[in-house]
Amino acid sequence: MCGEQIERDPNTWTEVERACFERRSVRKYRAEQVPEQLIKRILETGRFAPSAGNCQPWKFLVIRDPEIIAAIERDVRWACKVLKYFVYWRKGDTFRPLAWLMAQLFTRLMPHEMHPIPYSAVGLIADGKLKVLHGAPTAILILKDRRGAANPDLDCGICGQNMVLTAYSLGLSTCWVGFVSLLMKPPLSFIWKRRLGISFPYTLVEAICVGYPVAEPNGIVERETHAVTWFEPGRRFTTY
Ligand SMILES: Cc1cc2nc3c(=O)[nH]c(=O)nc-3n(C[C@H](O)[C@H](O)[C@H](O)COP(=O)(O)O)c2cc1C
């Protein structure tokens, strides 16, 4: 039993397991709008997500107006251009000391926002090579209630994943979009809080874009295997 691989047999999967394994983030959508009724069903499963103390620290905005979607694209791209200046502090052979200093400072003040992994995407968005909402006709914006018990970000994540899996089960594709949270940073926050009607205690944490994919995603993406330690009566073992 020691070091055993956890089994994954598609023939035994439940609908929920299938959705968990087969769902993919889609970054190219058809223009065709998703029926309002399907979006309502998606929202309803988000509403029923568990949360600490059942405090439900979320609120949803459904954006289907192409003008607003275009404005989000434009403004997040602008923010990425600003960020790119600091993140790419070494440009070719040129070392830019001010940008380096700011990058060091921001990395310490905002370790999650300055994580290196999303930063290849910052460059792509800034250069117009990657869309923010990927051309999806609908975006569900998840607002977090800052007063939520314990860890409202976690609750919003659980709620969002309910919606993502429901969308998958309805034959729709989705992509989480964390970059929209740049709209809540000054100076964009002054414009966007007013435009979207966001005020305390709410803040925009994530978006999920929803639509019909241009093509089917190319299969399951493998994940890293992390050791799992089990404690059974009288013994302890590891699986992967
Ligand atoms: C909280 C969160 C934020 C994300 N933000 C973005 C984003 O801004 N843009 C994007 O294209 N993908 C985003 N993603 C999608 C991830 O890149 C994707 O889930 C990951 O690469 C795994 O691929 P898969 O979803 O196809 O399995 C985000 C995912 C999560 C969970």
Residue 199 pLDDT > 70, yes or no? Answer: yes
CATH number of the domain within which 56 lies: 3.40.109.10
Residue 66: per-residue pLDDT: 98
Substitution site in 28, 119, 175, 182 for ligand 1 pocket (most atoms within 8 Å of beta carbon): 175
In this predicted model, what pLDDT tens digit does every residue of 209-232 receive, in sequence order? 999 999 988 888 889 989 999 999
pTM (whole model) above 0.85 = yes
The finding on whether 117 has its CB within 6 A of some atom of ligand 1 is no
Q: Is residue 138 part of a domain?
A: yes
- Lowest-confidence segment of 37-41, 108-112, 163-167 by average pLDDT: 108-112
Domain count, the chain: 1
Q: Is residue 142 part of a domain?
A: yes
Residue 1: per-residue pLDDT: 46
- Lowest-confidence segment of 120-124, 155-159, 171-175 by average pLDDT: 120-124
Report the pLDDT averaged over residues 53-75: 98
User: In which order are the strands placed within the sheet that holds 58-63?
Assistant: 58-63, 138-145, 202-211, 173-177
How many other C-beta atoms lie within 10 A of the C-beta of residue 119?
A: 17
Q: Is residue 3 part of a domain?
A: no
Q: Whose CA is nearest to atom 30 of ligand 1?
A: 176
Owning domain of residue 199: 10-69+132-211
The finding on whether 206 has its CB within 6 A of some atom of ligand 1 is yes
Q: Is residue 113 part of a domain?
A: no
Q: Is residue 150 part of a domain?
A: yes
Q: Whose CA is nearest to atom 20 of ligand 1?
A: 25
Residue 118 alpha carbon to ligand 1 centre in Å: 9
Q: Is residue 107 part of a domain?
A: no
More reliable by pLDDT, 35 or 87: 35
Residue 96 alpha carbon to ligand 1 centre in Å: 30
Q: Is residue 144 part of a domain?
A: yes
Q: Is residue 117 part of a domain?
A: no
